[in-house]
Each structure stands twice: as C-alpha cells, then as structure tokens.
C-alpha cells in the first residue's frame, strides 16, 4: 500500500513504519525492523559433543547459552558468515558445513532471517574475540544439552531451533 517510512537508522538496524493491506482486507500500520540477516553454526567436535557459548547479553542483562552466530556483512553470503563466526566465537574452523534450513527470528516485527548450519571436522585456531562480546566457550555432550534445556537454562530461540534441527532436542 505504502512505501516504508524510515523512523530510525542505526549501526545494525533500521526501523520503519509501513501501511499494508492484509489478505482479509484490513489495513494496518506496521512498525518493522529491517535486518540484514544472520547465520548460525552448531559446531560438532564429535557425534556426541558440540561447542556452545555462554555469552553475556546486555539487552537482557544475563548470560545465555547459544550456538555461534552473527549478522551478515553487506552482500555477505550466509555460509561465509558462518565460516567467519565459528572462528571468531569459538576459535575453531570447520572443514564441512551442511545447511539445515533457515528461520525467521521474530517475524511479527523484523525481517531477520537466520541460516542454520551444522559444522564438523573442526580444527583449533586462535580466537580473537570482539571487544563488545563477552563469551565463554563450552564443550558439551548431547546429554548435558538436554539437561540444560529441560531445566530451562537454554532460552535463546535461534539456538533451540538449531539444536532441534540437529536432532538434539
């Protein structure tokens, strides 16, 4: 119906309002975030051990268990982002990647689409954490992942989706 009107342009996100006509004929003004997209990797050290991150997230003021993930750079393919993020966040590179699928993180207000990969044949590299990230890497078994999930310790939605796609939840 209408063109998106910019409300805010940030370093990562752009917020717009847009009037749209829904399939049922109802007109609504949306507030939406345009996001460049992201990639997530579940790094397998073996068939029963993966690497998870315990990352401090200042927006929610707590540490979350997460799979390595990051935002796509401009015109960056999701696989290239996955290759970059696994090294940056875990200190490992991967010899093999398989794309498991993609998810929309919060489609009620954002265009963010996350490509999800499984990676294996890991090789230790040097980790160079970004200054704005507080990350601890953890090697966890399938049993430990299930226990953490059952007790409500894994709450990051993209990680839950990725672990489910891997058959771990």
pLDDT by residue (tens digit) across 149-168? Answer: 999 999 999 999 999 999 99
158 and 105 in a common domain: yes
The residue ranking higher by pLDDT, 63 or 129, is 63
Q: What are the tens digits of pLDDT across the range 23-59? A: 999 999 999 999 999 999 999 999 999 999 999 999 9
Q: What are the tens digits of pLDDT across the range 86-114? A: 999 999 999 999 999 999 999 999 999 99
80 and 11 in a common domain: no
75 and 15 in a common domain: no
* Other CB atoms within 10 Å distance of the CB of residue 151: 8
Give the pLDDT of residue 60.
Answer: 97
Q: 143: domain range?
A: 38-165
62 and 21 in a common domain: no
98 and 160 in a common domain: yes
**Looking at the DSSP assignment, which residues form a beta bridge with residue 94?**
122
The residue ranking higher by pLDDT, 127 or 54, is 54
26 and 108 in a common domain: no
77 and 13 in a common domain: no
Give the pLDDT of residue 11.
Answer: 86
* Other CB atoms within 10 Å distance of the CB of residue 70: 20
Total number of domains constituting the chain: 2
Q: Are 125 and 139 in contact (CB under 8 A)?
A: no
DSSP helix/strand/coil, 106: coil
Q: What is the CATH number of the domain that holds 142?
A: 3.90.79.10
Give the pLDDT of residue 139.
Answer: 98
54 and 25 in a common domain: no
58 and 128 in a common domain: yes
69 and 25 in a common domain: no
Give the pLDDT of residue 160.
Answer: 98
pLDDT at residue 129 tops 90: no
Say whether pTM exceeds 0.85. yes
89 and 13 in a common domain: no
């Amino acid at each position: 119906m209408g063109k998106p009107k910019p409300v805010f342009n940030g370093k990562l996100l752009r917020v717009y309002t847009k009037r749209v006509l829904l399939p049922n004929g109802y007109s609504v003004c949306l507030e939406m975030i345009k996001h460049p997209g992201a990639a997530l990797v579940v790094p397998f050290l073996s068939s029963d051990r993966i690497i998870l991150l315990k990352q401090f997230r200042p927006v929610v003021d707590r540490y979350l268990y997460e799979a390595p993930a990051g935002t796509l750079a401009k015109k960056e393919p999701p696989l290239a982002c996955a290759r970059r993020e696994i090294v940056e966040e875990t200190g490992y590179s991967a010899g093999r990647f398989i794309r498991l699928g993609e998810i929309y993180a919060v489609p009620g207000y954002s265009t963010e689409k996350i490509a999800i990969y499984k990676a294996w044949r890991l090789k230790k590299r040097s980790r160079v954490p970004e200054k704005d990230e507080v990350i601890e890497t953890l090697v966890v078994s399938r049993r430990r992942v299930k226990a953490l999930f059952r007790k409500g310790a894994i709450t990051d939605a993209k990680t839950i989706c990725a672990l489910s796609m891997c058959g771990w939840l």
